[in-house]
Amino acid sequence: MIHNIYHLFLFLFILSGCQAGSQTLIEQLRSLPNVVSVEAVTYDANFAEQYEVYFEQPLDHNNPVLGHFNQRVIVSHQGKQRPVVAVLEGYQIWNGQQDELTQLLNANQVNIEHRFFKSSRPDSVPWEKLTIWQAATDQHKIIEALQTIYPQNWISTGISKGGQATMYHRTFYPGDVKASVAYVAPLNYQREDPRIYRFLNSVGTAQDRERVYDFQCLCFEHFNELESMLKQKAKDYSWTFEMGTKMALQYTILEYSFAFWQWGAFRPDEIPGKESTTDDIFYHLNRVSGFTFFEANELEANRAFFWAALTEMGMYGYQTEPFRKYLGDTADYTFDFSAPEGKQPVFNPQAMQQVKNYLDGDAKNMLCIVGGLDTWSATAYEPSGNNNLVRMTLPNGHHGTRIKDFNPLERKYIYSLLENWMEVSITDPFTD
C-alpha cells in the first residue's frame, strides 16, 4: 500500500513538472505568486518576448496588513538558459530597451521599477515606508519569484540612483545574484555631503571653474530679464513653480555648477560670456540646469527621490556664500521644499554606514563604473581592498559613462571580470 502511494505521488509530481514545462512564458508569469497582471509588450525588438508584469507588494514588508501597492516589472526574454540582468531602477522604468550589460551577456532582462515612483505608487504614499530596506525587499521578492522560471546566472545593475539601489539590494540580499555592476552609484554619508563641495572647488582647471562661476554671476546680473523669460516659458508650457519664479530661478542658477560637471553637455570654453545675448544665457542655463527640475509636476514625480535623499541616501546642497550679494542673507537654499506636505524629513546616517560596512567587508563580484568629471564621482564608493569589489573610473567621463566608453584594454579587463563571475564568454560588441 505504501509502495503504491509513493508511486502515485511520484506520478503526480512528474505530471505537474511536465505541465509546468509545457506552459508558455506568459502562463508561467501569470502563475507566479503575487502577480496581478501580465501583458505582452514590445519595447525592443532585440528580445524574443517582452511582458509587463505587476506584482502586488506590501507597503511594509514587516507588517503586510497595512496595505499593498502594485509594482511594475518588465520581463524581456531571450532564452531560459541565458543569464538574467536585473535592472534595478532608481526611479520609474524609463523604457524596456536592452541594457548595455544585457547586450554584453546576450541575456534576459528584468526591469524593476522603484517603489513609489510613477506606475508603482499607491494612491496615498506612506513616506516612512520608503526606505532602502523596503525597496531592496521589493526587489528580492520579485527576483525570488522569477528565479522559478530563470533559475541561474543572475546579475544586478543600475545607473545613478539605480546604481545606489544595486548596492543596497546586495547589502540586504547578497545571495540573490552572482554579481553586480553599479554605474555612478554615489554613497553619501551626510544629508549634504561636503565632498561634493570639495569636488566642485577642485574639478577641472582653475580657468574652467572660473568660467562656471562667472556664468552663474552673469545669470544673476541678468536676473530680471531671465525671470521675465522664465515666466513666459512657464505660461507657454503650463509650468507651475510653487516656490515662485524668483526662487526657482535662483535655485536653477545655484544648480548650474553641479549639473555642468555632472552631465558634461558642454565644454568649459562653450560657456556663454559677457558678450552673450540674454537669449543665449537663458538657453544655456536651461540646457544645463533645466528649469523643470523645480517645477511642480516634475517635483511631484520625483518627490520619492528627494524624500529618500533627505532621510537615508543623502545628497548635496549649494555653496551660497560666493553669491550672497545676489541672494541676500535670509534665504534658505536647501531641498526641504521638496518634503511632502506636513512631513519633516529626518536624516538617518546609519543607513549608508550599513551599506559601507557591507561593501568594505563581505561584498564580492561587484563592479562600479564612474565618470571622473561627474559631480557624483565625489562620493563614489572607494573599494577597501578587502574584497573583489572593483571600481573603474574614466578620467574624462561624466554621468553617462558606460563600459563601452573605456579603451579596448580596459574593456578586456572588465570582460574578464564578468566572464569569471558569471562563467560566460563575452565577445566585445564595442570594437573601435
Q: Higher model confidence: residue 386 or residue 112? A: 112
Provide the 10 A C-beta neighbour count for residue 68: 16
Per-residue pLDDT tens digits for 194-226: 999 999 999 999 999 999 999 999 999 999 999
Task: Tell me what pLDDT residue 20 has.
Answer: 53
The sign of the CA dihedral 89, 95, 99, 102 is positive
Cβ-in-10-Å burial (0-12, 13-18, 19+) of 430 comes to: middle
Report how far residue 382's alpha carbon sits from residue 318's, in angstroms, rounded to the nearest whole number: 24
pLDDT at residue number 416: 97
A 10 A CB-CB count for 40 gives 10
Per-residue pLDDT, averaged over 84-111, amounts to 97
Share of the chain above pLDDT 90, in %: 91
pLDDT for position 6: 39
Q: Read off the pLDDT of each residue in 359-376 and give the average, rounded to a whole number.
A: 97
Q: What is the pLDDT of residue 21?
A: 61
Over residues 57-81, mean pLDDT = 97
pLDDT(103) > 50: yes
Exposed e or buried b for every residue in 360-383, given b needs 16+ CB within 10 A? beebebbbbbbbebbbbbbbbbee
Q: What percent of the chain has pLDDT over 70?
A: 94
pLDDT of residue 432: 65
Sequence-distant (6+) residues with CB within 8 A of 216 are 253, 254, 256, 257, 323
What's the whole-number mean pLDDT along residues 421-427?
A: 95
Task: Give the least confident one: 25-39, 172-186, 228-242, 329-343.
Answer: 329-343
pLDDT at 14: 41
Q: With cut-offs at 50, 70 and 90, classify the pLDDT of residue 245.
A: very high
pLDDT band for position 330 (cuts 50, 70, 90): low
Average pLDDT over residues 163-178: 98
Task: Name the average pLDDT for the chain.
Answer: 94
Is the pLDDT score of 92 beyond 80? yes
Q: Are 389 and 359 in contact (CB under 8 A)?
A: yes
d(CA 132, CA 418) in angstroms, rounded, equals 26
pLDDT in tens, 269-292: 999 999 999 999 999 999 999 999
Q: Start-end ranges of CATH 3.40.50.1820 in the chain?
A: 24-188+361-422
Give which of 32, 139, 33, 25 is closest to 78, Cα–Cα.
25
Distance CA 403, CA 178 (A): 19
Percent helix, percent strand, percent coil in the chain, to nearest 5:
45, 15, 40
Greater confidence, 358 or 20? 358
Q: Which of 392, 425, 427 is nearest to 153 (CA)?
A: 425
Cell of 30: 501569470
Q: What is the pLDDT of residues 300-322, one digit of tens each?
A: 999 999 999 999 999 999 999 99
pTM over 0.75: yes
Encode pLDDT of 111-159 as tens digits: 999 999 999 999 999 999 999 999 999 999 999 999 999 998 999 999 9
Q: Which helix (H) or strand (E) holds 305?
A: helix 303-308
SS3 state at 245:
helix
pLDDT at 142: 98
pLDDT band (50, 70, 90) for residue 356? very high
pLDDT at 430: 87
- The answer on pLDDT for 31 being more than 80 is yes
Q: Is the pLDDT of residue 30 over 90?
A: yes
Q: How far apart are CA 343 and CA 85, in angstroms?
A: 36
pLDDT above 90 for 293: yes
What's residue 13's pLDDT? 38
| Greater model confidence, 406 or 22 | 406
CATH of the domain spanning 24-188+361-422: 3.40.50.1820
